[in-house]
Chains A and B, each alone.
Chain A
Amino acid sequence: MKVLVTVKRVIDYNVKVRVKADGSDVDLNNVKMAMNPFCEIAVEEAIRLKESGTATEVIAVSVGPKACQEQLRTALALGADRAIHIESEAQLESLNVAKLLAKVIEQEQPGVVILGKQAIDTDNNQTGQMLSALTGMAQGTFASKIDIQGDKAVVIREVDGGLQTIELAMPIIATTDLRLNEPRYASLPNIMKAKRKPLEVKTPEELGVSIKAHTKLLSVGAPAERKAGIKVASVAELVDKLKNEAKVI
């Protein structure tokens, strides 16, 4: 069984993003980029499925500009067997990405597809669910456990009230939540080895997918700034302020 895992190149999660002065977008010039943290968890899960003998091959896929190949090489260094880069310089929206991935699924016929539940740049939380709808594959979002049992998968999901357990008919699409696993680091020998692993480049045209805009970004602004308040010296002063100044207790 093949496992397909997606990786997105995003701003490093430690970097605080700044809005461009002209309000057109955020400024990503000279900003450190990295693999989306939820995609790291997805890659880790895919590799563990191979290590446990459930999967035979791990294929990492990324969609975006040429620089995405850096993150694909990271996935290969972590243990993916090969990579597919769908190259596009366009501003891609979730549905565009889902349609491209659906074509790759059609060609590769994986048993399990794992995506991060959301990317920390656009915070959309859409692509996995859209991919499930487009392919008709069963959907297990926000997974904190994925257990493949032959032609079924049991997925434990992090939901607002706690944890939900569902059983899915294979093949499945899962999206990762934070507690699914703890991703490993790539070792230096594996980083060197990854340079020789196959990385195939495809275009949306080759996959027969036309990129259509569904939204238009009008402007990007900074959120209302919250200024620091005061330091209180004691619990008694704090309680007094909350009662008599803020009037919230």
Chain B
Amino acid sequence: MSILVIAEHDNDSIKSSTLNTVTAALAIADDVTVLVAGSNCQSAAQSAAKISGVSKVLVADNPAYANQLAENMRGLIVELAEGKSHILAPATTSGKNIMPGVAALLDVGQISEIIKVESADVFERPIYAGNAVAKVQSLDTIKVITVRTTAFEEAGDTGSASIEQVAAVCDAGKSTFIGEAVVVSERPELTAAKIVISGGRGMGNGENFSLLEAVADKLGAAVGASRAAVDAGFVSNDMQVGQTGKIVAPDLYIAVGISGAIQHLAGMKDSKVIVAINKDEEAPIFSIADYGLVADLFEAVPELEASL
């Protein structure tokens, strides 16, 4: 068995989602190759070569891959698929964008968001917003898989894989990258943070999120939001935690003014410790919280900040 992992990176460095995906790959087999496709991405390739357990890094360095557009990426990956038993990518917006097209071109199915490797062809994945877990067996010769990053530890950095350049250039000419509005923050990334503090509709408006930011800065935490808060326009979409937003599993998750809709719980219920602060003592969030505080958030949150 030979596995190809599609790295997520920003051309300079490897994103941590790649490290989780390598761990999932190593749970299947030992022969793991990582593909770094980008533009001027040699330094990302260097760091990929240091991931523990990786035997080879393939680098496709071409402007066509600069923004990892789906049409170009899937063409490249299909060319590299020969002889591979599995192709894995993180179940991030990037992996989700690229991988189903790879599967379709190979005429195989995709198994989305695996949370457990049972054997080389049997995997577990959450369905119905995580309210059920399906055990599925792949019947295809090449298994195309996306990996829920929170379900696998990050691989270490003690590797020394060989680096090989790939000449193939796939430019479908269908799409062009125009720009990106990336939210730049001093705080840790939501999906990688050890502590996350999230606000819901109860926050009232976007300005009030500064209360959460003050706590986040004291704890070194990331700030998230429920779908209700994003839909209401309080904060931007990149902060959404839930079934269709980001899936997080930090050591500590603090839900503030969040009632606890099924869709939100799907994105955070695997956190180690959950705290809920809500003035409605009937809020469903309390049914999964380790520590619940029934209080007005506008009093409790500043008090929490002051006591840290």
Residues of A within 8 A of B (CB): 11, 13, 16-17, 19, 26, 38, 93-95, 98, 117-118, 120-134, 136-142, 144, 154, 157-169, 177-179, 213-223, 226, 228-232, 234-236, 238-239, 241-242, 246, 248-249
Query: Of B93, B104, B112, B174, which contacts A160 at CB under 8 A?
Result: B93
Query: Of B69, B104, B132, B293, which contacts A130 at CB under 8 A?
Result: B104
Report whether B135 and A220 are in contact in the complex, using a CB–CB cutoff of 8 Å: yes
What residues of chain A lie closer than 8 Å to B191, measured between beta carbons?
160
Q: In the complex, A61 Cα to B14 Cα: how many Å?
A: 40
> Is B74 on the interface with A (CB-CB < 8 A)?
yes
Residue of B nearest to A138 (CB): B174
Q: In the complex, A161 Cα to B176 Cα: how many Å?
A: 18
Query: Of A120, A142, A229, A239, which contacts B304 at CB under 8 A?
Result: A239
Q: Of residues 16 to 67 in B, which have CB atoms within 8 Å of A's CB atoms?
A: 67
Selected A-B contacts with CB under 8 Å, 9 pairs:
A131-B104, A165-B179, A165-B181, A177-B237, A177-B244, A216-B137, A221-B135, A234-B293, A249-B308
Q: In the complex, A241 Cα to B182 Cα: how many Å?
A: 36
What residues of chain A lie closer than 8 Å to B290, measured between beta carbons?
229-230, 246
Report whether A165 and B230 are in contact in the complex, using a CB–CB cutoff of 8 Å: no
What residues of chain A lie closer than 8 Å to B272, measured between beta carbons?
248
What residues of chain B lie closer than 8 Å to A162, measured between beta carbons?
180-183, 236-238
> Is B210 on the interface with A (CB-CB < 8 A)?
no
Report whether A94 and B110 are in contact in the complex, using a CB–CB cutoff of 8 Å: yes
User: If the complex has contacts A162-B180, A229-B292, A235-B307, are A134 and B252 also in contact, measured as CB distance less than 8 A?
Assistant: no
Report whether B112 and A232 are in contact in the complex, using a CB–CB cutoff of 8 Å: no
Q: In the complex, A137 Cα to B173 Cα: how many Å?
A: 11
Residue of A nearest to B239 (CB): A162
Query: Of A123, A154, A246, which contacts B273 at CB under 8 A?
Result: A246
What residues of chain B lie closer than 8 Å to A117, measured between beta carbons?
244
Report whether A125 and B112 are in contact in the complex, using a CB–CB cutoff of 8 Å: yes
Report whether A165 and B178 are in contact in the complex, using a CB–CB cutoff of 8 Å: yes
Residue of B nearest to A123 (CB): B127
Report whether B175 and A167 are in contact in the complex, using a CB–CB cutoff of 8 Å: yes
> Is B199 on the interface with A (CB-CB < 8 A)?
no
Q: In the complex, A130 Cα to B74 Cα: how many Å?
A: 10
Report whether B135 and A219 are in contact in the complex, using a CB–CB cutoff of 8 Å: yes
Q: In the complex, A234 Cα to B295 Cα: how many Å?
A: 8
User: If the complex has contacts A162-B238, A216-B137, A218-B122, are A124 and B176 also in contact, measured as CB distance less than 8 A?
Assistant: no
What residues of chain A lie closer than 8 Å to B304, measured between beta carbons?
235, 238-239
What residues of chain A lie closer than 8 Å to B122, measured between beta carbons?
218
What residues of chain B lie closer than 8 Å to A127, measured between beta carbons?
100
Report whether B100 and A126 are in contact in the complex, using a CB–CB cutoff of 8 Å: yes
B109, B130, B246 — most chain A CB neighbours (10 Å): B109
What residues of chain B lie closer than 8 Å to A144, measured between beta carbons?
237
